[in-house]
Amino acid sequence: MGQPTVEQRRLLYRGREFHFVSYDGVPANVKRSQPATLPAWWLMSAGTRWEVMPFSPGRDQAELDHAFTAWLDAHVFRSTDETGVS
């Protein structure tokens, strides 16, 4: 079995740096009633991680950055945009 594919991406957006890390999926654990998970990108911040989107190795960096900024706009900056403050 090959090494897991782990990628990291730091993105400067709206004056802040964001750190995204890919994690391999995990097989289901029937004994613990845990479902399988698919490989995904996660946003790392303050000792916590949030699932962002599915992970596909070798994805174009510009396309990946666009997907990350769209996710940030929808999940991180949504409340500031609604008030007109950014």
Tens of pLDDT along 54-68?
998 889 999 999 999
**What pTM did the predictor assign?**
0.79
Q: Is the pLDDT of residue 83 over 80?
A: no
The answer to whether residues 68 and 18 touch, using CB atoms and an 8 Å cutoff, is yes
Q: What is the pLDDT of residues 6-54, one digit of tens each?
A: 899 999 999 999 999 999 988 999 999 999 999 999 999 999 999 999 9
Tokens at 2, concatenated: 């090959």
The answer to whether residues 84 and 76 touch, using CB atoms and an 8 Å cutoff, is no
Query: Whose CA is closest to 17, among 56, 52, 43, 48?
Result: 43
Domain ranges of the chain: 8-83
